[in-house]
Amino acid sequence: MNGPSLLRFASDPAEDVPGRDGPRVVGLDTSLQATGLASSEGWCRVIGYEDKKNPITKLPHAARLVQMRRIRDAIVDGIGRPDLAVMEGAAVSRSGGGAHERGWLWWRLYEHLTDAGIPIGLVSTNQRIMYATGKGSGSKTVVVDAVARRWPQWQTGGNDNAADAVVLMAAGRDWLNAPIATMPATHRAAVVKALWPEASR
């Protein structure tokens, strides 16, 4: 069974990426409709199911599973084999439809990374916002603006999912002692609080 195209946005790798030769880190902000991916190599992607006439949570269960697997496989292809993957922690308290399906996707991606031996960092939503802005809360627009200012080489097209992934990636590089930008202590507090794979450092 086919379905709508899953690539919602993609940017080409920038030529002037700071620390390109350092550890390869991918930030991963999972979502059924728009999973954000960002690589320390300088590119961003947004992958997800978007068919307003036939939303994924309204499909018959068998068809829904097919489309969720398509999303998972496309994201896995995008992740590749980084030295570290940084995921936003599962938003278990998030309201709205599709919580069951979102949980499936998050765990399947975590499973893939674990099985592939790729170290995983987990950054909460508040920690992600703190690393970008210095504060533990803020609007999507504030984060997008912070990314454009601090990490302009990563072209997000103003997409908040891509911007979130850039922040996760940057936090991972910071934790590996190979930051792509100098960050104030108020921002770096988020790195200290996040969950990291100790054996990979």
117-173: per-residue pLDDT in tens?
999 999 999 999 999 999 988 899 999 999 999 999 999 999 999 999 999 999 999
What 8-state DSSP symbol labels residue 22? S
Q: HSE, CB side, 13 Å, CA atoms: give it for residue 27.
A: 32
- pLDDT value of residue 161: 97
- pLDDT value of residue 1: 54
**Distance from chain centroid for Cα 153:** 17
69-113: per-residue pLDDT in tens?
999 999 999 999 999 999 999 876 555 568 899 999 999 999 999
- pLDDT value of residue 37: 98
pLDDT exceeds cutoff 60 at 178 = yes
- pLDDT value of residue 56: 93
d(CA 45, CA 65): 23
Q: What is the pTM of this model?
A: 0.94
d(CA 189, CA 90): 20
- Kind plus residue range of the DSSP H or E element containing 62: helix 61-79
What 8-state DSSP symbol labels residue 180? S
pLDDT exceeds cutoff 90 at 21 = no
Contact 32, 49 (CB under 8 A): yes
Q: List phi, psi (to 5°) of 68.
A: -65, -40
d(CA 15, CA 155): 12
